[in-house]
Amino acid sequence: MNDTRATFVGIGAQKCASTWLYGVLQQSPDVQVSEDKEVDFFSYYFDRGYEWYDRHFACDSPSIARGEISPSYFIHPDAPARAYAYNPKITVFVTLRDPVARCFSNHLHEVRKGHVSGKNTVFETALDNNPLYRDQGRYAHHLKRWYDVFPADQIHVLFQEDIHIDRAAMARQVTDALGLRPLDDFLDLRANESVRYKNATVGETLWKFGNFARKNGMGRIVETAKGVPPIKQLRASNRQSIRDVVAPMTADTERYLTDYYARDVEKLERLIGRQTPWRRFAALADVTTA
């Protein structure tokens, strides 16, 4: 195996703490992660070849583990076989959360990014218009493809709910899975999906500029610039609480989605050999078996 081949990959699902996982791996001195969190090689850019992919992990300093996090891999039908052909020993990280909550979070993400507007900001309307909202929460259906290809001991499933309870302990699970020393000074990372940009163009421009600067070694300048009064005021005035834009899902929708995912959650627990922390489905199972 050459020195820059990926030794791990995070596959999502989408809106299930993949940014947290990326942040944990970034903190380890023993890990080389891609500068862009989502390389999407095994899903969208496989035709660019292994050398293109390996360049994302090239570095001057030695590293024990190399890899990236691309939630698109979770639902892509060809990603498992492609990843196995590339490196049959690769470690696979899976991050999951309550699929009903994930579905709504998916919607908040699309609204925050400015991809959804008008009548489609209503969750129930968007749910009818975007079948991927539901489909990405069919965890057993999609994850089975990975278990069909990889040995179970190479697949590590992390629940977002467990991360919320004890982030440091879950970070230790990540480093242990890769055979790395624990993080000495773990930073408590949280994702923020509570705001959206009033003007998507302004927000996207600021984000792209900051991302470009960080990739070119100017991360400290970016953080300093955020505190400059005109820029700070611009960022603050362009933000709006996502809860002011999107109403909570209705009780009927919550019941519908719970019923929709119930059978898949049962299959997931059998597939991974453990219970999920999602109480709504445990309660439903108690009712149906009573």
Percent of all residues in the chain with a pLDDT value above 90, rounded to a whole number? 62
User: What phi and psi values does residue 95 have, to the nearest 5 degrees?
Assistant: -115, 130
First to last CA, the chain: 54
- Mention every residue, 6+ apart, whose C-beta is less than 8 A from residue 9: 42, 67, 68, 69, 70, 73, 83, 90, 91, 92, 93
Q: 217-221, 246-250, 263-267: which has the minimum mean pLDDT?
A: 217-221
Check residue 206 and give its pLDDT: 64
pLDDT score of 223 more than 90: no
How far apart CA 140 and CA 42 sit, in angstroms, is 20
The β-bridge relationship of strands 155-159 and 65-69 is unpaired
User: What phi and psi values does residue 248 have, to the nearest 5 degrees?
Assistant: -60, 155
User: What angle separates helix 18-27 from helix 167-177, to the nearest 10 degrees?
Assistant: 70
The arithmetic mean of pLDDT across residues 118-125, rounded, is 93
Closest by CA position to 90, among listed 14, 174, 24, 150: 150
How far apart CA 215 and CA 210 sit, in angstroms, is 9
How far apart CA 185 and CA 26 sit, in angstroms, is 12
Closest by CA position to 66, among listed 90, 47, 45: 90
pLDDT score of 52 more than 50: yes
Mean per-residue pLDDT of the chain: 86
pLDDT in tens, 83-101: 999 999 999 999 999 999 9
Residues forming beta bridges with residue 239, ordered by sequence position: 197
pLDDT score of 192 more than 60: no
* Other beta carbons less than 10 A from residue 227's beta carbon: 8
Check residue 290 and give its pLDDT: 45
pLDDT in tens, 7-44: 999 999 999 999 999 999 988 989 999 988 899 999 99
Check residue 194 and give its pLDDT: 54
pLDDT in tens, 152-184: 999 999 999 999 999 999 999 999 999 998 886
Specify the higher pLDDT residue, 103 or 235. 103
- Are the C-beta atoms of 119 and 111 separated by less than 8 Å? no
Q: How confident is the model at residue 245 (pLDDT cuts 50, 70, 90)?
A: confident
pLDDT score of 277 more than 90: yes
Can you read off the two tokens belonging to residue 280?
A: 């709504």
Residue 46 DSSP label: G
Q: Which domains does the chain carry?
A: 8-198+238-289 (3.40.50.300)
pLDDT in tens, 200-218: 665 566 656 765 665 565 6
Q: How far is CA 50 from the centre of its chain?
A: 23
- Are the C-beta atoms of 147 and 271 separated by less than 8 Å? yes
pTM summary value: 0.82
- Mention every residue, 6+ apart, whose C-beta is less than 8 A from residue 105: 15, 97, 193
Query: If DSSP states are collapsed to H, E and C, what string results for 146-165?
Result: HHHHCCHHHEEEEEHHHHHH
Question: For the chain, what is the total number of helices (H) and then of strands (E)?
Answer: 14, 7
How far apart CA 193 and CA 113 sit, in angstroms, is 10
pLDDT in tens, 37-48: 899 999 999 999
The arithmetic mean of pLDDT across residues 192-202, rounded, is 55
